[in-house]
A and B are shown apart, each in its own frame.
Chain A
Amino acid sequence: MSINTPAMLPRLCIVSSGTDPDGSGMQIRRQLRLLRPSLPCLLQIREKHLDAAALFRLSLAVKEEAASRNALILLNERADIAMAAALDGVHLRESSCPAGKVRSFIGRMLTGKSVHSLESAVKAAESGVDYLIFGPVFDTPSKRQYGAPQGSDALGAICRTVSVPVFAIGGITPENAPLCLAEGAYGVAALSLFTDTVTLPELLETFEKLLAS
């Protein structure tokens, strides 16, 4: 299956912890400062508890911090706020406004979508998204609300079916990431794994090696 990859789409996606207390983005900015110039990253702001005004302020703060880093910044769910803050893109949930409709006003901004089944992966790919995040592949506390782990076989089936890049999410570790890549994943995404800024530098170094091979 040929993969239509937008130019320079990173292969590592960091999802924010959802625990930014006041919208200042302290935790996200701390993560950004630890990124490696040699490892491009997608950073998805996913702070569901914040209202639109707070998300807008947070987006501006994160964008400013990211200016000198090797990262593309996406906002979960809200294409309008992502546009207003001139972020790099929007990441849609499986239950978000249809991607094709978002495309109609978002222009060339990067548009990704979470999917939890082969059926919705195919539908999303047809609607013109730039990439998909599929999961949960392995077990993880933050993704249990999206059902039981689906395993690397299901990931492989999706990667072989759709022609957009697929990121694996859910319980990703340096140990199981190679299996995801072997199944055809374009990259990996994680939330909890990257929240500890003490272990983050070493993890990023490990993932850089894994993703380069």
Chain B
Amino acid sequence: MIPSAPFLCYVTDESPSPVDSVRKVLEGGASMIQLRHKSASGEQLYLWAKEMQDLCRMHNAVFIVNDRVDIALAADADGVHLGQEDLPAREARKLLGPKKIMGISASTLEEALRAEMDGADYVGLGHIFETSSKEKHSRPLGPEAIAAVRAAAGIPIVAIGGINRLNAARTIASGASGIAVIAAISRAPEPERAARELVSILQHQQ
């Protein structure tokens, strides 16, 4: 099960030691961690996943792995997060079984509806605002896209892309169940404090 709304999900960056920031972010109150690291080896991903899954259990947080269903199964993670260029959602669901969490990235209403049909537990909708973490060639969707998906689909929405202290509340007000951030935490001087502030903003919005 995904955390109860409104929640903060931290997505790791390409740092050589992502476990350090995960530990701090959990202290700061994040309730979902996504291991996303495109350049690490399978063995390294597995070792990080084991460590992060243990940390998340200690903090009652949810741990998911980006793209690699194999690593999620090997480390007995709570689930996976898949992009549109990853293993098709239906195939991933067959491998994961009914209980594991499966999140799917969507950038249109159509993709969100398909994800719901394919057995996703949430959609990562974005990018909502301008973002520096990932190379994006399309325009930001804006928070109104959250409201549009909310109106048409029953699936929980995690807003992603350029979310920070100034705009986090608007995403929740528009119907997001949670926010996912990379840079707002990884590039903050104090990741734990950055997480704590975001969680506090989400809770006041509720």
Q: Which of B81-89, B128-136, B167-175, B188-196 contacts A (4 or more CB under 8 A)?
A: B81-89
Chain A to chain B: the 5 pairs with minimum beta-carbon distance, closest first: A80-B69, A95-B41, A101-B74, A96-B42, A80-B70
Query: Is B73 interfacial (CB-CB < 8 Å)?
Result: yes
Stretch of B8-16, B90-98, B143-151, B156-164 at the chain-chain interface: B90-98
Contact A105 B73 (CB under 8 A): yes
Residues of B within 8 A of A77 (CB): 42
Q: Report B10 CB to chain A, min CB distance, Å.
A: 23
The smallest C-beta distance from A110 to any residue of chain B, in angstroms, reads 15
Q: Which of A51, A81, A97 is close to B42, meaning CB atoms less than 8 Å apart? A: A97
- Digit string of A54-77 for contact with B (CB within 8 Å is 1, else 0)? 101000000000000000000001
Q: Does B125 sit at the interface, judged by CB under 8 A?
A: no
Is the CB–CB distance between A84 and B92 below 8 Å? yes
Indicate whether A52 sits within 8 Å of B67 (C-beta atoms), given known contacts A80-B95, A95-B41: yes
Tell me the smallest distance from the CB of A23 to a CB of chain B, in Å.
Answer: 11
Chain B residues with Cβ under 8 A from A105's Cβ? Answer: 70, 73-74, 95
Once bound together, how far apart are the Cα atoms of A101 and B49, in whole Å? Answer: 13
Contacts of A80 in B (CB 8 A): 68-70, 73, 87, 92, 95
Closest residue on chain A to residue B84 by CB atoms: A53
Contacts of B63 in A (CB 8 A): none
Q: Which residues of A contact B25 (CB under 8 A)?
A: none
- Chain B CB within 8 A of A213 CB: no
**Interface membership of B44, Cβ < 8 A:** yes
A79 at the interface (CB under 8 A from B): yes
Residues from chain A with a CB closer than 8 A to the CB of B69 are 80
User: Is B85 within 8 A of A53, CB to CB?
Assistant: yes
Smallest Cβ-Cβ distance to A95: which chain B residue: B41
Known contacts A95-B43, A96-B41: does B85 contact A102 (CB below 8 Å)? no
* CB <8 Å contact, A84 and B74: no
- Alpha-carbon separation in the docked complex, A83 to B94 (Å): 10
Q: Are A97 and B70 touching (Cβ within 8 A)? A: yes
Nearest-CB residue, chain A, relative to B72: A80
Task: Find the residue from B43, B74, B88 having the highest chain A CB count within 10 A.
Answer: B74
**Interface size class of chain A, counting residues whose CB lies under 8 Å from the partner chain:** 20 to 34
> Does A92 reach chain B (CB closer than 8 Å)?
yes
Q: How far is the CA of A211 from the CA of B4 in the complex (A)?
A: 61
A98 near B84 with CB under 8 A, answer no
The answer to whether B85 and A93 have CB atoms under 8 Å apart is no
In the assembled complex, A46 has its CB within 8 A of some CB on chain B? no
Q: A52-B86, A53-B86, A84-B91 are in contact. Are A78 and B41 (CB under 8 A)?
A: no
Determine the distance from Cα of A96 to Cα of B74 in the docked complex, in whole angstroms: 11
Q: What are 26 sample pairs from A and B whose C-beta atoms fall under 8 A apart?
A: A52-B86, A52-B87, A53-B86, A54-B85, A78-B68, A79-B70, A80-B70, A80-B92, A80-B95, A83-B95, A84-B92, A84-B94, A84-B95, A92-B42, A96-B42, A97-B42, A97-B45, A97-B74, A98-B43, A98-B74, A101-B74, A102-B74, A104-B73, A104-B74, A105-B73, A105-B95
Q: Mark A7-39, 1 if CB is under 8 A from B, else 0.
A: 000000000000000000000000000000000
B73–A96 touching, CB < 8 Å = no
- CB nearest to B85 among chain A residues: A51
Instruction: Confirm or deny: B46 has a beta carbon within 8 angstroms of a beta carbon on chain A.
Output: yes
- Give every chain A residue within 8 A of B41 (Cβ-Cβ): 93, 95-96
